[in-house]
Structure 1
Amino acid sequence: MKKIILFASLAFSINAFAQVPSYVPNNGLVGYWPFTGNANDESGNSHNGTVNGATLTTDRFGNTSSAYNFTGTTNDITLANSQTLVNGSFTVSAWCTIDVLSPSNYDAVLIGQFNGQISNDRKWLFGYRSISSQRGISYYFCDNSGSFLSNAYTLNWLPQVSTWYHITWIFTSANSIETYVNGILHSTVSLTLRNFNNAASTILTKIGNGIDIGSFAQLPWNGKIDDVGIWNRVLTQQEIQNLYNANICYQNVTVTDTLVINTGITGFNPITYKNTIKVYPNPTNDHITIDNGNISNLTGYQIKITNSLSQQVFQSGITQQQFYVDLSTWTGNGIYFVHIIDAQGNTIDIKKIVLQ
């Protein structure tokens, strides 16, 4: 008699290995910090972070030790070898919460590259400003002349306290800055930088704090930060939307008779999903049923099952609500993997099943 036991991500979690997820663009990636228990750079470029006072906390999915909390004091994460991070056009992306919107004069840096002095090297700071009527996503630039040439904030954006947001800043070679909030273009502003290349050897890049270029006062972040990425190119809007919409498989779900696969996060606080796929029963002796839920939300999606040798034993487009899968045609006892693939060909979730 054949039996199949289905394990949720507690048995197989993509969080168990340290590598860049498939939805994170690799082209031009110079640093990626998922904060899964540490501040290491998983891009392979060795820009590992040194944690100074920030503490591990829950991420937007409720997973422990999967983001860092900054208390609005001297906390920061200093990145190694940061002079080589960017040169020319670049993109910065991060998930964050803003836990304090007062006092009225509040300026905070999520990430920045600076050396705390006016000198002939470039500096940039990205963060949030709440000063009198000036409330919005902020950025500050000095060029290689040492002149403080550009600072601004985006208008008409007042975030909810302690709510997760995905924010992206893009600096282009045409001297413009674009900001995105939750995958949507929020603003585009032209800058007047004369030269923005070649950071000085004394430059530092920090997450969670910065130095005011004029007053040298610290500008600490007060809230959580997670999944920080830096690219030495301009990301496309689709790539930014993929980062925002990605179903990061860090969900720890305990099940007794059904494997639950969530697709397409549509909101946070609490987390909501586009659809839920269920695979059952557990255990079984001759078949499994795959319930695809509301298939109108899964146009172009596919499901496939492979064995431990990556041989495919089942594949189908998700065009019907349920599949009945006969196990007698499978390749014997062992570990199998259920893959959910979106319309762009990205694998958005993988879960383990064991046939015995």
Structure 2
Amino acid sequence: MKKRNFLFSLFALNVLAGFTKSPRVLNISLAAITLLFLTACSYSGGPTLQKCSDVCNGLVAYYPFFGSATDESGNNHHGELHNVTFVEDREGNPERGAHFNGKSYISLPYLKNSNQKGSYSFVVIFKPDIIPDEPTEWPSFKVIGTTNYAPGIHYRKNMRINFEGWNGKIGMKVGRFKTNPGKYSHVVGVADVEKNHTIIYVNGIVKGSKNWEENAVALAARRFWNDYVVIGIGNPNDNLKPEALVGVIDEVRIYNRALSDAEIDTIFKGPTM
């Protein structure tokens, strides 16, 4: 538990104890305040570590953004910075969050030639600073994805986080979670080729899923692995609709398989310190 959360809990306990002596009322009130507190605040989770310490099987690339775009998975898929600066992360640590100003992005040129195929999963912790306002039909920030718009993580003008994109034949979208700018969210997108299924988790909870027809997810996965992965933008060469993020990304992971519910829960809760 974070120090600020712990102090809040103590404060709530003392205040409520002064209003009631009934254990039942106290328990109900504490539960209500705890729920209100958790839903109102950004995701903080466990500390970001420089090396993978939890779910490492199938980890193709890991970017904790400790002042650089170094891939800490050991696979040397280092990112290339384009006008990205480093600011405080979600825990207040200096220069451990990648800041994007609407023109900046990180390219991952080495992933395209990594001979990966099949299912994939994203894990990203990010905070939009503003609502997308591009003068297009569907304003959006691309948090992570490819330049050919294979399914990736988006933040829309309606303030919803989606796992969406184009598989070459059809548009694919799942996601219903709505969040205001200024708050961190822990987001996982999974494209499962074997089950022909896509799913999105926000803060450890499923917020959208769909079973697709025929080989829709296989086409999406092929499109993903055969193109350039970018962070913080849709396509840096698209002047009409770049989908360039204004906000902070605290951490990114890319896996070459579909993560399970249990694994996502482990990553979300973070390492025990």
Q: Same fold (TM over 0.5)?
A: yes
Corresponding position: 1:160 with 2:180: yes
Structure 1 residues 137 and 78: CA distance shift in structure 2, 3 A: same
Corresponding position: 1:109 with 2:142: yes
State the AA in 2 paired with 1:137. Answer: N
How far did 1:211 drift? 3.0
2:108 is aligned to 79
2:59 is aligned to 29
How far did 1:108 drift? 1.0
Q: Can you list the C-alpha shifts for 1:11-36, whole angstroms capped at 9, x where unaligned? A: xxx98x8422x12x111110100101
CA distance in 1, matches of 2:141, 2:229: 15
1:142 is aligned to 167
Q: Can you list the C-alpha shifts for 1:143-185, whole angstroms capped at 9, x where unaligned? A: 4xxx3x1232523x32022111100000001322100000111
State the AA in 2 paired with 1:237. Answer: D
How far did 1:195 drift? 3.1
1:246 is aligned to 270
3-state SS, counterpart of residue 242 of structure 1: helix
CA distance in 1, matches of 2:186, 2:221: 27
Identity across the alignment (%): 25
CA distance in 2, matches of 1:106, 1:50: 25
Bigger share in helix: 2
Residues matched between the structures, number: 219
2:33 is aligned to none
Structure 1 residues 244 and 203: CA distance shift in structure 2, 3 A: same
Residue of structure 2 aligned with 1:63, choices 81, 86, 93: 93
Q: Can you list the C-alpha shifts for 1:75-110, whole angstroms capped at 9, x where unaligned? A: 100113121374211110010001112538521101
How far did 1:70 drift? 0.9
Corresponding position: 1:127 with 2:154: yes
Corresponding position: 1:221 with 2:241: no
Bigger share in strand: 1
3-state SS, counterpart of residue 160 of structure 1: coil
Q: Can you list the C-alpha shifts for 1:32-71, whole angstroms capped at 9, x where unaligned? A: 0010111000111111011101110111100011010112
CA contact (8 A) 2:116 2:225 kept: no
CA distance in 2, matches of 1:200, 1:102: 24
Structure 1 residues 94 and 27: CA distance shift in structure 2, 3 A: same
How far did 1:142 drift? 2.1
Higher relative contact order (CA 8 A, sep 6+): 2
- TM-score, L = length of structure 2: 0.71
Deviates more, 1:205-214 or 1:229-238: 205-214
